[in-house]
Amino acid sequence: MIQTNARSQLHLLLKDLAGAFQGWEFWVYLGWNDIAKQYRRSFIGPIWITLNTALFIVAFGLVGAQLFKIAVRDYLSYFCIGHILFGFFSALLNEGCLTYINATAFLKQTAYPKTAFVLRVLWKNLILLGHNFLVILGVLVWAGKIGNVAWVDFAAALLVALISGALAVAILGALAARFRDIPMMVQSIMQIAFFLTPVIWKADQLTERAKFLVVWNPLAAYLDILRRPLLGESAPPESWYMALGAMAAQAGLFIALYLAARRRIVYWL
């Protein structure tokens, strides 16, 4: 039953979310088809990208280890995990901006739950991360660190990152539908963020004065809670506080934005 304006915006938002989860087959299949497209075009599909990533990681890993005078084993595993995870964040946020813009034809024909398209973007990027994760596993086996991985910590961190990611996609998707310069802004910001976040370099290489780059950077926090368990370390509580705090802030923003503007999204397309 569709009831617009007859119920409160909160009720309609909850119904949207419930509809998206109940209709999981819709976004799971569409998200999967996005990946299948790449497989149809070439036999190994997105593994091309994985190979490409692997090649870059090995090449830069060897140079970086020299530059920073860190053992190749340690630097390569550090850089590999950071690069792939940051790539995931970056792709998610960039594509997140296009969530609704790319779904225009769908949203103008049928009253789909809006958030189903958020989950489609998240799911597609999660599948791609799964492909790239093979590289991480390969490097960890090669470096002899695979036995040390704290899988439970990693799973908890991944859950937090995915929830935050979904919220970010929902927020950016709605804002970018209204303000069409946001995708360009996000793209530039993510390019700069790559260098301001400890992906290539390590946080402890910073001087005291530059520490704020890590302390006040939510991306650094998500990266930290995900990367450390894979390297067999445990993440400091500050990183967890920052990641959880950022997630809570995004949840607040998501609710405020969607209560005010969820019903306007289609008008902006």
Partner 1 sequence: MPFTELNSVCVDFPVFTSRSRGLVNTLFMYTKQEQRRVEKAGMFGYTVHALRDINVSLGPGDRIGLIGRNGAGKTTLLRVMSGVYEPSSGTVRIEGRISSLTDIMLGMDPDANGYENIVLRGIVLGLSRKEAASLIPDVADFSGLGQYLDLPVSTYSTGMMLRLAFAVSTAVVPEILLMDEMIGAGDAHFVEKAQSRINKVIENVSILVIASHNEEIIKRFCTRGILLDEGRIKHMGSVDECMALHKEGSSHP
Residues that bind partner 1 (CB under 8 A): 1-6, 12, 23, 25-26, 29-30, 33, 36-37, 40-41, 105-111, 175, 179-182, 185, 263, 266-268
Nearer Cβ to partner 1, position 41 or 209? 41
In angstroms, what is the minimal distance from the CB of 262 to partner 1?
8
Residue 48 C-alpha from the chain's centroid: 20
* 116 versus 167: smaller Cβ distance to partner 1: 116
| Whole-number Å distance between alpha carbons of 11 and 195 | 42
What token pair was written down for 71?
Answer: 């053992």
- SS3 category, 180: coil
Contact 253/8 with Cβ under 8 angstroms?
no
Query: Least Å distance between CB 173 and partner 1?
Result: 14
Closest to partner 1 by CB, 257 or 266: 266
What whole-number distance in Å separates Cα of residue 5 and Cα of residue 57?
Answer: 52
Provide the minimum distance between the beta carbon of 115 and partner 1 in the complex, in angstroms, as a whole number: 15
What residue has token string 């390019």? 191
CA 208 to chain centre: 29
Q: Write down the least CB distance from residue 268 to partner 1, Å.
A: 8
The DSSP output letter for 204 is G
Residues with Cβ within 8 Å of 257's Cβ and at least 6 positions away in sequence, in order, are: 171, 174, 175
Least Å from the CB of residue 90 to partner 1:
20
Angle at 54 between CA 51 and CA 57, to 5 degrees: 150
Cβ 110 to partner 1, closest distance in Å? 6
Please say which residue, 102 or 213, places its beta carbon nearer to partner 1. Answer: 102
- Tokens of residue 264, six digits: 């306007």
Query: Closest by alpha carbon to 130, among 55, 46, 231, 229?
Result: 46
Closer residue to partner 1, CB minimum distance, 145 or 263? 263
Q: Which is nearer to partner 1, 3 or 207 (CB)?
A: 3
